[in-house]
Amino acid sequence: MEWYGPITILPAVGMIILSTTHFLVALNNEIVELEREPMQDREVIASKLSQLKRLGWANSSLYASALFFLIAGLWKAATMQEDMFFAWMLVGVCAMTLALGFLFVHSLKSISIRQKRLMLSEEAKTRNENSNRAQD
Who contacts 62 (Cβ-Cβ below 8 Å, separation ≥6)?
13, 16, 17, 20, 95, 96, 99
For residues 33 and 62, the model is more confident at 62
CA angle (78 as vertex; 76, 82 as ends), nearest 5: 30
Domain boundaries, the chain: 5-125
Task: In whole angstroms, give the CA distance from residue 103 to residue 47.
Answer: 15
pLDDT grade for 104, boundaries at 50, 70 and 90: very high
pLDDT of 31 strictly over 80: yes
For residues 26 and 129, the model is more confident at 26
Task: In whole angstroms, give the CA distance from residue 56 to residue 101.
Answer: 13
What burial letters (b/e) apply to 97-126, b meaning 16+ CB within 10 Å?
ebbeebbeebeeebeebeeebeeeeeeeee
Task: In whole angstroms, give the CA distance from residue 93 to residue 68.
Answer: 9
Q: CA-CA distances (angstroms) from residue 101 to 98, 104, 131?
A: 5, 5, 45
Tell whether pTM > 0.85: no
